[in-house]
Each structure stands twice: as structure tokens, then as C-alpha cells.
Structure 1
């Protein structure tokens, strides 16, 4: 898909900045609250797999649409990106359950 010059760089730069801040905040919170390591591990795994999904999606945006097999390749790459995104959402849900479990057990004490 043709984009204006510089748009891809802005997308990559913006995503990198936001993901970097999110990663730093997650690690800082993990250091501060060491009682629930599994929740933070799943959160970091979510961020990693989500970044991979975005990378794959950006490859689709930059794909040469004049290639003879472009529709098939683009569809396949979107499918792979979607599967990786779904895996990242599963990691996030597991992290949320992990955080929820630790709060309930923390309140009981």
C-alpha cells in the first residue's frame, strides 16, 4: 500500500517510543512489587508478542503491491500477524488473571 514519504518512519518511531515507555514502566513496577513475578512475566511476554505482531503488520503495509503474488502474500502475512496478535492477547489475559489472583490472596491476609 503506497504511503506518503516519512509515514512509515513516523509509525515505527511512535510505536517504538510508546512501547519503550511501557516496557520501562512495567519493569519498574516489577522491581517495586516483586511479589507477583508471573504476572509481570506474562505482561512482558504480551509486549514482546504484540511488538512482533505490529512488526509483521508494518511489513504488510510496506509490501510491494505490484508483485505478481501480492494479494496472496499480503493475506498470508495479515493472517500470521493476526495469530501473533491473538497470542499476545492471550498472554495479557493470563497476566490479568495472575494479577487478580494475587490481589485476592493479598486481601485475605
Structure 2
């Protein structure tokens, strides 16, 4: 294991999820963007919507219906709730990127 001198500043999780939220990952990315005036390439891979999609990860406000097993419905609701959280975090991230006075390209 490599010891990194730069520890993560943002490590919040959403509700009962075991993974760092996309919002925290985006904030960490913004911190990195602000560290230098020079060009840089940042590749960000997030974990918030990584499997498994456990029923108790989030308080699911999005309900699904259809010819699915109870377990499949639960997994789909959890996945969809996570995507909803990602959408909101991504909107905030893009809004913050747009305030930075340098050329930035985001590929999603």
C-alpha cells in the first residue's frame, strides 16, 4: 500500500451507504482544480452508485412498479435513488465549475 501525503478532505457518505458520495468526490475534484493555475488532467471514478444496491442504503423516495420480484424492485429503487442524488450533485458541480475563471472541459 502506498501512503499518500494528500488525504481526502471530503469523505461524506449518504445515509447508510458505505461509499463516499458523488458530492464529496466532486468537491474533492474542485479542490484539486483550485490547487494550480496550470493545465491538468483529472480522471474521476466515483463509487456512490456501485453495487450492491442494498435496501437500507437510502431512504428511497423513488418507487418502481412492474413485474419484478420484491428484491429486484428494492434494488432498482435504491439504484434510482442513488442516481437522483448523483444528478443533484452533478448539477452543483457544473455550477461551481462554471464559476472558475479558467478553461475547463468536463467529459461525462
Q: Structure 1 length as normaliser, TM-score?
A: 0.38
Structure number with larger C-alpha Rg = 1
Of Structure 1 and Structure 2, the greater helix share is in: 1
Q: Identify which of structures 1 and 2 has the higher relative contact order when contacts are C-alpha pairs closer than 8 Å and 6+ apart.
A: 1
| TM-score of the superposed pair, with normalisation by structure 2 | 0.38
